[in-house]
Amino acid sequence: MAGGSDTAETVTLTCARCGKPSHLQCPKCMDLKLPREGAAFCSQDCFKASWSTHKAVHLKAKLSSIGTGNSGEHNSDFANEGWLYCLKKGQARTPKLPHFDWTGTLRPYPISSKREVPPHIDRPDWADDGIPKIEPNSDFQHVVEIKKPDQIEKMREVGRISREVLDAAARVIRPGITTDEIDRVVHEATIAAGGYPSPLNYHFFPKSCCTSVNEVICHGIPDARKLEDGDIVNVDVTVYYKGYHGDLNETYFVGEVDEESRRLVQCTYECLEKAIAMVKPGVRFRDVGEVINRHASMSGLSVVRSYCGHGIGELFHCAPNIPHYGRNKAVGVMKAGQTFTIEPMINAGVWRDRMWPDGWTAVTADGKRSAQFEHTLLVTETGVEVLTARLPTSPKVFPWLN
């Protein structure tokens, strides 16, 4: 896969992963004419092991070349060019939409320019260059951390702040508001609380929260589309505060929503409730998916398989990985002091997902609607504490809770 060693010069390059002398060059970096330092690898093994983080270099180069107006010439192989342009400039995507077999009626709209975070706010390590550095290399990708009382107190604090930020977003949802305006509310509420919006620039994600409308399963990018009467919209908020992340989401009704969508959203809410009710020390992570799958299939709904719940704390995403579907192979049992999310995504039609050409927006393969709810949870000695639980001040937007 790698290859294309360069014979023109005799400079000794060192492996971007292990530092040994290297003669392999990343072919994509060569295509893009990127500096050879940082693009050299001693072996296919080091190249492959680095790929998940290294590939970010390519996207970053494409984005910056587009920013300086050199987008044309050498980039004819970029099916994504129009999208990247819009991510960068916030220009109308419509005239330059790439060819894509859209699964439903939703389309991307222009994205506004990047929102600023004031310098006094503590930032995660991806805030400046888009690349998480501690997270992918941490032992807590393999071992589930048991948090100490002082860490748990920090998790409680960020959990409550994240909830307040999501509630602020919930209060402005109505027909006619754009998802970009929701993003602004999330961004400003997060900063007002002294936090950093974790999604912002995480692997280059361009906005401060995810907004997933109708057939979007998750990771929708807030944009200039106005919400329409009858839409459903999930808002997913993560806040970074005093070194810890809190993560939650809810799916809201926009105006009057049809009966089928109301049932989908309520059933998804119940799936999360049932999963939370089983959390306590000794329960197997793989049983979470059994409970969710049973409840969803009872209503003729299906469970998304490509996106899972995750450990959370000083890292945004870490072990354990918690699938929401049945017959999964997740390993391990719950122990007191662990913190993780459960966030089932439930589809009205088939479970299968597709990715928009923006590399983020996950949609249902059949274009039917999808709903999601998420909480950050703490396993206690006797059961569970919902760190992102609703507050007495939370807006009463779900009819089944009134």
Q: Binding marks (x or -) toward Zn ion, 353..392, rule CB under 5 A? A: ---------------------x------------------
Count the site residues for Zn ion by CB under 5 A.
5
Are residues 244 and 314 in contact, defined by beta-carbon separation less than 8 angstroms? yes
Rounded Cα–Cα distance for residues 344 and 127 (Å):
28
Burial class (CB in 10 A: 0-12, 13-18, 19+), 188: middle
Query: Which residues lie below 8 Å from residue 389, measured CB to CB, with a gap of 6+?
Result: 159, 163, 375
Distances (CA, A) of 378 to 18, 55, 125: 37, 34, 25
Residue type, 313: G
The answer to whether the annotation marks 374 as part of a ligand binding site is yes
Helix (H, G, I), strand (E, B) or coil at 87: helix
Encoded tokens for 18: 């292990």
Alpha carbon 121 to chain centroid, angstroms: 22
Work out how close the CB of 247 gets to Zn ion at its nearest, in angstroms, rounded to a whole number: 4
Cβ-based nearer residue to Zn ion, 24 or 276: 276
Rounded Cα–Cα distance for residues 246 and 239 (Å):
5
Rounded Cα–Cα distance for residues 146 and 141 (Å):
13
Site for Zn ion in 327-346 (CB under 5 A): 341
The answer to whether the annotation marks 317 as part of a ligand binding site is yes
The answer to whether the annotation marks 74 as part of a ligand binding site is no
The answer to whether the annotation marks 343 as part of a ligand binding site is yes
Work out how close the CB of 104 gets to Zn ion at its nearest, in angstroms, rounded to a whole number: 22
The answer to whether the annotation marks 183 as part of a ligand binding site is no
Work out how close the CB of 235 gets to Zn ion at its nearest, in angstroms, rounded to a whole number: 9
- Does 236 help bind Zn ion (rule: CB under 5 A)? yes
Cβ-based nearer residue to Zn ion, 81 or 374: 374
Phi, psi of 47 (to 5 degrees): -65, -50
Work out how close the CB of 346 gets to Zn ion at its nearest, in angstroms, rounded to a whole number: 15
Work out how close the CB of 41 gets to Zn ion at its nearest, in angstroms, rounded to a whole number: 32
Cβ-based nearer residue to Zn ion, 181 or 236: 236
Rounded Cα–Cα distance for residues 399 and 321 (Å):
32
The answer to whether the annotation marks 245 as part of a ligand binding site is no
The answer to whether the annotation marks 236 as part of a ligand binding site is yes
Total residue length of the chain: 402
Give helix 81-89 / helix 44-67 axis angle, nearest 10°. Answer: 60
Cβ-based nearer residue to Zn ion, 81 or 167: 167
Question: Across the strands, what pairs with 235?
Answer: 211, 250
- Does 135 help bind Zn ion (rule: CB under 5 A)? no
Work out how close the CB of 55 gets to Zn ion at its nearest, in angstroms, rounded to a whole number: 22
Q: Binding marks (x or -) toward Zn ion, 241..270, rule CB under 5 A? A: ------x-x---------------------
DSSP H or E run through 149: helix 149-172
Cβ-based nearer residue to Zn ion, 180 or 236: 236
- Does 164 help bind Zn ion (rule: CB under 5 A)? no
Work out how close the CB of 70 gets to Zn ion at its nearest, in angstroms, rounded to a whole number: 36
Specify binding-site residues for a protein. Answer: 219, 317
Specify binding-site residues for Zn(2+). Answer: 236, 247, 310, 343, 374
Q: Provide the binding-site residues for Zn ion, judged by CB under 5 A.
A: 236, 247, 249, 341, 374
